[in-house]
């Protein structure tokens, strides 16, 4: 048999949905079948070919971010062998301009490809790049909303496979998976709340089908809540100079929605992890005036009134009004209080915990001081806890909420 034919298959993702296209009669192979964005490898670099195919088949030439390149797999069909290089990309919108190779485009749950007539090996290729429980557990750069979404995708995809396998133990197996996902990120309330809400809704019909359906509904509900919280934050940042740290998807959306746009954004590096660098680049590429600063300069920048306010996201809110977020948040809040500047948090209310309990885990020395882990003991957490008295307000999908009002909100959420 001849060498496998190398091809790329790109899965484009937006708000938890994946794009599939139905191949037209003009396609050279598998006309009428559903597929990702695909094409032949023509260069030594499959990622280069993937970008070319995305541009040619969808018209998307910018704003897409490579999430993961998976290990290539060999797919055999009718005497042919294909060497498939899978890729997962996040895109900023759903508008696509199809070329003659595609007859139809459809956005939806990735698991729908399990019931469609697809090109050979499509689901197997997707699984090479799909989120995993390890991704949720080990990620140290993205915020809780993004990781809660990925956790729900893991649960949804596993439920879809259990549905197709008609696994009689599906409810038990998926329940155990949900518990592992929640336990993997104890400081991120959104992960627990969104996973637990999906499983609670599915419990009236304890089946793989119900978990698959409710997990995907939870992804959409989370996006709606985050978008509404971003809209609340817009009025506080439009035309102002703001300082932020870490990475908040809600804040990223709010800045893009603001009109007029912020006149200056000061972004702290947010070590360990350094996600502030990526956030700063994204805003700078969109034409905003952005300054990066080391974490050690945050307090002085605030005290010098180089900004009008401090605005951060959240990994969790505690019942008593405290804020849990990336380490460095407390120092920024203390400096804002000293300077008399507002300290605001853009957050959806499903990041609210039912109590005030919180255990902050120490990071391994190598994560704090890369290349300098040897020596005296190291103590540092990825998160810190900012007292409610230092938080001016929470900007949520329900509007502006004072820290003192979180207890009543937590009680009402517990009753539901």
44 and 138 share one domain: no
Looking at the structure, do residues 410 and 392 belong to the same domain, yes or no? yes
- The DSSP bridge pattern shows strands 65-69 and 80-90 to be antiparallel
Burial (CB count <10 Å: 0-12, 13-18, 19+), residue 107: middle
Please tell me whether residues 195 and 103 are part of one structural domain. Answer: no
pLDDT digits (tens, 9 = 90+) for 194-252: 999 999 999 999 999 999 999 999 999 999 999 999 999 999 999 999 999 999 989 99
The residue that leads in pLDDT, 143 or 69, is: 69
Residue 235 sits in the same domain as residue 221: no
Nearest to 252 by CA among 143, 155, 117, 367: 143
> Do 261 and 181 sit in the same domain of this protein?
no
pTM to 2 decimal places: 0.87
| Same domain (yes/no): 79, 61 | yes
Is 373 domain-assigned?
no
Q: Is the pLDDT of residue 293 over 90?
A: yes
300 in the same domain as 248 = yes
Q: Could you say which of 129, 162, 195 is where a domain stops?
A: 129
Is 267 in the same domain as 408?
yes
Range of the domain at 169: 133-225
Task: Give the DSSP letter string of 303-372.
Answer: HTT-SSEEEE--SEE-TTS-EEEETTHHHHHHHHHHHT--EEEE--GGGB-SSS---PPBPPHHHHSTT-
- Tell whether the model's pLDDT for residue 416 goes beyond 80: no
Q: How many domains does the chain have?
A: 3
Which CATH number is 271's domain given?
A: 3.40.50.10470
In a domain, 361, yes or no: no
Using an 8 Å Cβ cutoff, are 351 and 314 in contact? yes
> Residue 8: beta bridge partners?
39, 85
pLDDT for 142 equals: 83
Instruction: Please state, rounded to an integer, the average pLDDT across all residues of the chain.
Output: 94
> Which domain CATH number covers 98?
3.90.79.10
């Amino acid at each position: 048999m001849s060498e496998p034919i190398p091809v790329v298959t790109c899965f484009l993702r937006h708000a938890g949905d994946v794009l599939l296209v139905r191949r037209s009669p003009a396609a050279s192979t598998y006309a009428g079948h559903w597929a990702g964005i695909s094409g032949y490898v023509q260069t030594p670099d499959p990622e280069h070919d993937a970008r070319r195919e995305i541009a040619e088949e969808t018209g998307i030439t910018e704003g897409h971010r490579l999430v993961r390149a998976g290990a290539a797999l060999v797919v055999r069909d009718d005497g042919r062998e294909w060497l498939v290089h899978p890729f997962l990309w996040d895109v900023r919108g759903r508008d696509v301009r199809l070329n003659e190779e595609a007859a139809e485009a459809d956005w939806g749950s990735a698991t729908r490809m399990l019931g469609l007539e697809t090109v050979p090996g499509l689901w197997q290729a997707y699984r090479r790049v799909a989120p995993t429980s390890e991704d949720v557990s080990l990620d140290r750069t993205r915020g809780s909303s993004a990781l809660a979404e990925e956790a729900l995708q893991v649960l949804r995809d596993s439920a879809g496979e259990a549905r197709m396998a008609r696994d009689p133990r599906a409810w038990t197996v998926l329940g155990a998976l949900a518990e592992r996902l929640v336990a993997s990120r104890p400081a991120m309330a959104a992960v627990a709340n969104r996973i637990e809400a999906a499983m609670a809704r599915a419990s009236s019909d304890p089946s793989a089908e119900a978990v698959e359906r409710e997990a995907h509904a939870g992804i959409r509900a989370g996006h709606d809540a985050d978008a509404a919280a971003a809209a609340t934050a817009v009025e506080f940042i439009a035309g102002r100079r703001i300082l932020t740290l870490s990475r908040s998807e809600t804040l990223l959306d709010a800045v893009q929605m603001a009109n007029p746009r912020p006149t200056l954004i000061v972004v702290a590096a947010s070590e360990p992890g350094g996600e502030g660098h990526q956030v700063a680049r994204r805003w700078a590429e969109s034409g905003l005036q952005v300054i990066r600063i080391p974490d050690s300069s945050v307090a002085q920048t605030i005290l010098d009134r180089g900004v009008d306010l401090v605005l951060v996201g959240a990994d969790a809110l505690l019942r008593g009004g405290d804020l849990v977020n990336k380490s460095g948040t407390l120092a920024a809040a203390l400096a804002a209080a000293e300077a008399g500047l507002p300290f605001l948090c853009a957050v959806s209310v499903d990041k609210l915990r039912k109590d005030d309990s919180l255990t902050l885990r120490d990071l391994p020395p190598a994560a704090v001081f890369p290349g300098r882990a040897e020596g005296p003991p190291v103590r540092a957490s990825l998160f810190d806890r900012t007292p409610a008295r230092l938080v001016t307000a929470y900007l949520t999908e329900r509007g502006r909420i004072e820290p003192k009002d979180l207890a009543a909100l937590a009680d009402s959420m517990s009753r539901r």
